[in-house]
A = this chain, B = another copy of it.
């Protein structure tokens, strides 16, 4: 069932996959170039060095890696460890398979910012190309959007008598998650976070409150409420210092 070196295919839909085991650099270059042209996803196992130059720069000496090139311009270089690729190029980059000094090189360029990635293979273990098509969309739950819906469906979860008036209300400091008023008719700014919050979220909420107090040119005060599953000690202290509040709430019931 395995394709021969020239990428010949058998019946059925095996036409979609191309595999080369221990190919010559020239054969590998040919196969990768054709696969990129065909808009396949390409994976290459082998020993390589990697150079990156752009916002930062890096050099990576010889080692075994898995390199993946996607038809959207993404390139990923993975070692045997870590969620993150050791080097990469984002979507929208150009991709080229070259033969330089008898070695396979995968070269990728992007602009804004100008960045360059060069993978040079000392040994090629295997090249695979496959026409990966995925129309399906990921259905993700438990996001900040879910938390917002939960609060809007049941505002009492924030505080008895709380009434949302607007979402994404604009202020000079940016858009407030939920703007509303409490049982006494005081203005309330609610900042939502889907997970445990630190000092950064307090700073954000504080900027919104200040901006709104300025915007409504200071007719009394604006309450700031941080809604999240939990809060760190320092963040809780910062909230208190600025006269703001915390309400514990999970993104999902």
Contacts and interface: CB of A to CB of B under 8 A. Distances in A.
Contacts of A41: 45, 66, 78, 80
Contacts of A72: 80-82
Interface stretch (A95-103, A130-138, A148-156, A182-190): A130-138
A199 to B, nearest CB: 7
A17 B2 contact: no
A200 to B, nearest CB: 6
Interface residues of A, number: 76
A83 B79 contact: no
Contacts of A206: 203
Given A55-B142, A62-B136, A128 B45 contact: yes
Copies in the complex: 2
Given A1-B21, A81-B72, A63 B199 contact: no
Interface stretch (A29-37, A85-93, A159-167, A217-225): A85-93
A45 to B, nearest CB: 5
Nearest to A66: B41
A133 B17 contact: no
Interface in A121-148: 125-126, 128, 130-136, 138-143
Contact of A58 (B58, B79, B139, B194): B139
A132 B64 contact: yes
